[in-house]
Amino acid sequence: MTSNQSDRITINTADGTIELVFGEATPEQKAECFKQAGRTFVRGIPEDLWTNAEEQLDLLPLLQGKGCLHWCLYKAGTPKEIVSSLRAIRRELLIRDAQGVRPETSYDICFVATDEKYRGHGLASFLMRKVAEWFDGPGAVPLTTLYTAVGQFYVPFGWDLLPAPQVSFDLPPDVSRGILQRKREESPSLPTRVVGPHDVADLCSRDIAQLRPQVEAYDLAPDTSLVSTLPIPEQFEWYRGLAKLQSDSWCGGREIANVGAICDAADTWMLWHHDLRKKEFKISRVKPNYGDHEQTKQALVQLLLCAMEEAISWEATFEKVVIWDPNPEVIGALEILGRDMGFTPKSEMRVGTNHTSLRWAKDEKRQTVFWPNEYYAYN
């Protein structure tokens, strides 16, 4: 790997002066980056198990080709000694601005990590600046996103914080699958069915076809841009792969057979993610009936019952249900369901974790609406 002087940084440590080199990770370095991410973000899982999981995820369609980019800082002369690293995963967008509505490919930055021994030397800052240079130059990427748990840290490098609302509720401890099934039978005019992995591609195609007219019609303030992450099937497949690996580790390899639910009569559905590590049942996408808000709300009551049924079927694995960027129909459905089932939904902004950030190319400052800002857009 060759580099120029601007790709290097020298730091003074207790062990002496160390020169570090920035570059896109080689296949050999990627394995070390996987280990570093595991040590930083997924403590409690054996390193070999996490590395194997990462290597399996790396084979999924979302990450093929330029689907996932890895960068790192490594010790000059010993390329396998990774000190700091990050990755960026492909996202497909619709952007609406003064030029109209157009599709674009972007990246979401994740797993920004520095070994504990070398923290405090500005290495993550150096890494972020170099990656921003690549996106602005050879990468020609119109914008990038990241979801931060460290507040304002990324703002000086151009990633501005955006509103990040969510709603959640604790799963009632005394609710059984039988009770939930009987509740659903009380609304025979809005029957639901579970969605399996084989249904996702068709639902994503339908979702994207309906989303574009909504982007075009969105009531956007002057001089404001709208960014919409497309719900592509590869993204949901990645989440299912992640849940499968977590299930192999903690739930005896139970199959992830149900990935969502649909109410065909209302043209409304939701897809979900089994976040077994955090014990949160995440609703990754809610696709409403854009033409009938009241019917959507009633259908979502039924679909949330399906989600609760799936969550409790994992026998105390999940503690709560979480929905990002809840629309008024979701809030209305949760109020109905909460009154009926005895729980209180909690609406809040994600400030200390997974706070949405966005950077336009060359650090351009724009008023931006990021919609929908649901869990499927996150890594």
Same fold, 5-141 and 165-349: yes
Show the low-confidence residues of the chain (pLDDT under 50).
1-2
pLDDT of residue 245: 87
Q: What does the pLDDT read at residue 19? A: 96
Instruction: Fill in the DSSP letter of residue 291.
Output: T
CATH 3.40.1350 for domain 165-349, yes or no, is no
CA distance 293 to 121: 52
Question: Shortest CA distance to 356 belongs to which of 229, 237, 242, 241?
Answer: 229
Residues 248, 358: Cα–Cα separation, whole Å: 34
pLDDT number for residue 150: 87
Dist. CA 63–CA 290, nearest whole Å: 32
The pLDDT assigned to 1 comes to 39
Return the domain boundaries, the chain.
5-141, 165-349
Q: What is residue 248's predicted lDDT score, i.e. its pLDDT?
A: 87
Given this model, what pLDDT does residue 44 score?
A: 66
Check residue 2 and give its pLDDT.
43
What CATH number belongs to 5-141?
Answer: 3.40.630.30
Report pTM. Answer: 0.94
Cα–Cα distance between 142 and 3 in angstroms, integer?
25
